[in-house]
Amino acid sequence: MTERTTLSARTRLAEAETHLRRAREELDGGDDALIALVDETLRDVTTLRAVLESQGTDAKWLDDTHALTQ
C-alpha cells in the first residue's frame, strides 16, 4: 500500500468520525434507534481508524479493502 493511500484512508476516517460526532450531538434527545445506529457506526469508524494507525503503511487488510472499492 502506498503511503498516499494510507493517508487518504486515515483522512477519510477522521472526517467520518467528525461528521458522526456532529450528527450524534444534533440527534441528542431524538430518535433512540437512530442515535444507537450513529453510536454504533461511530464506534466502528473509531476502531478502524485506530487499527489503521497502529498498522502504519503495512496494513494489508486496507489494500484488500481499497481494491474492492475501486
pLDDT at residue 10 in the model: 80
Q: Determine if the pTM surpasses 0.95.
A: no
Cell of 1: 500500500
Give 29-64 pLDDT, tens digit per residue.
Answer: 999 999 999 999 999 999 988 887 787 655 565 555
Give 2-36 pLDDT, tens digit per residue.
Answer: 666 667 888 888 899 999 999 999 998 999 999 99
Given a contact cutoff of 8 angstroms between Cβ atoms, the answer to whether 48 and 5 are in contact is no
A 10 A CB-CB count for 36 gives: 10
pLDDT at residue 8 in the model: 80
